[in-house]
Amino acid sequence: MKIFTKTVIVILVVVGLFALTPTGQYIFAAGNDLYRKLEVFQEMIQLINTQYVEPVDWDSTMEGAFKGLMDALDPHSIFIPPDRVDNINESFKGNFEGIGIEFDILNDYITVISPIVGSPSDGLLNPGDQLIKIDGESAYKITRDEVFKKLRGPKGSKVGLSVARAGLDELLEITIIRDKIPIYSVLAKFLMDDDSTGYLLMNRFSATTSNEFITAVEELKTQGMKQLLVDIRYNSGGYLDEVVKIIDDFLPGGEKIVYTRGRLKNANEDYFSTGKAEFEKLPVMIMINRASASASEILSGSLQDLDRALIVGETSFGKGLVQRQYPMRDGSAIRVTVAKYFTPSGRLIQRPYKNGDAEAYYEEIYDHDFDKVDSTKLASRPIYHTKTGRVVYGGGGITPDVHLAPPGVLTKSTANIRRHSSRPFFTFASEYAVKHPELKRDWEHFYDNFKYSEDELNQFYSIIDSLGIKIDRLELTEDENIIQNYLKSELAAQLWGRNEQYEVRTELDDQIQEAMQHWTEAREIGHAGGYL
């Protein structure tokens, strides 16, 4: 009966806490429904604990109940188990302490995908290196959780690695001193082929994003940038304060950027530009897709409403709910929707949802006809107007000013190669980089001219066959340009880094190439808004 007694105490404490708070007073003043439901819940636990056919794992059972409780609210209110809290917090904190590598487990060993720039591993470890031992202990068949436990640690502590490197017969013995490792949210920044368009890719809005963004834009300006393309496709959001700071850089003072409204007064906030205006005169284009959500929609929706940027791409996700994260006493946490956010014109970007049906809510986004269906329903959606009177739509994500067709679907063979756990593109490029170090001498020549020979592609396909990956050579011929690009971009990552990897990828990114044809519209919007 120990478990049951503990559970009853917890429930009574929860009820007591409700009763002692203003929110609790509100709930119980409105009726006793919640209290009666808690009594039923207590009764269920007692019966299960005493009558169920087998001993109950109450940790997992209660976590399931907590998850169900949050699922019943909305798709974005969630329960976070204790073992996931640190990792989730870390991704938005902007740093962690460790050795600084991106890794995968290939052939049962930790394989370095890339050392993080500026980390202790930068210059000591290479892409493709395999960690055979950690502090003298074998790392064979190590799990991902064990990798984090062994490689992360306090700043200043040491870890010894035995490293297998292509081209060397003996293991390298390397000692790395752990340090604070940045988690970058600006993944790439470079000038496009026209030498005047700056390209900037962001994958989240973390605690360091606004500083990263300003630094990247300033760097691009020194290289001769005259206009900025911000790519936030697949950016699922992050901190509201960080996206507000970025928007502030493009506006004069006194403009409403975004506002939130909730049931409680402390959830109601109006955010205005401060007049910082670091980049007020810079033509801007924002690229979004169906996976751009939350803070990404604040960035695109706000700059669209204020006629400050041209929005291109696909209709965005439609997440207009604001969550706050609250720690629980057992180390878990909950994220609770406390408000809805609105763009300057008054648009609520939240897409309709049915409580308790998160699966259908998320599946809708991956419907191939998502944009097509959405466009046919524009007439039924709420109409709003931008600062200069342009029509924009509420009721479900940000509708771009210029729609760009979604990327084409890969053939089944190419998709099978991309998804395979052995990472064939990475592995082939890693081995190729070791054999051809001379390629690193001239980035411009590589970017403009490099191409794998037919014999080299056949070597790659032979490796694919040996791995047992199902492919059709005719399909691979159909996707040859794409395969060349994947292999070339992986090779660029091996030789130079992530920035060059993404620069190669843009060569075959049809959405980016199409967006580059719309700078006239971007400038016209900026002029009409009084910015340029």
Residues identified as active-site: 294, 305, 319
Please give the sequence-ordered ranges of beta strands (E in DSSP) within 321-403, or none if there are none: 321-327, 333-342, 383-385, 391-393, 402-403
Please give the sequence-ordered ranges of beta strands (E in DSSP) within 263-371, or none if there are none: 269-272, 284-288, 310-313, 321-327, 333-342
Nearest alpha-carbon partner for 100 in 21, 184, 168, 42: 184
- The stretches of 396-467 forming alpha helices (DSSP H) are 412-419, 424-435, 443-449, 454-466
In sequence order, the β-bridge partners of residue 182 are 95
Contact between 305 and 345 under an 8 Å Cβ cutoff? The reply is yes
d(CA 402, CA 287): 10
CA-based angle 440:446:450, to the nearest 5?
125
Tell me, what DSSP letter sits at residue 283?
-
CA-based angle 458:460:466, to the nearest 5?
105
DSSP assignment of 75-91 equals TT-EEE-HHHHHHHHHH
d(CA 86, CA 98): 14
The identity of residue 29, as a single letter, is A
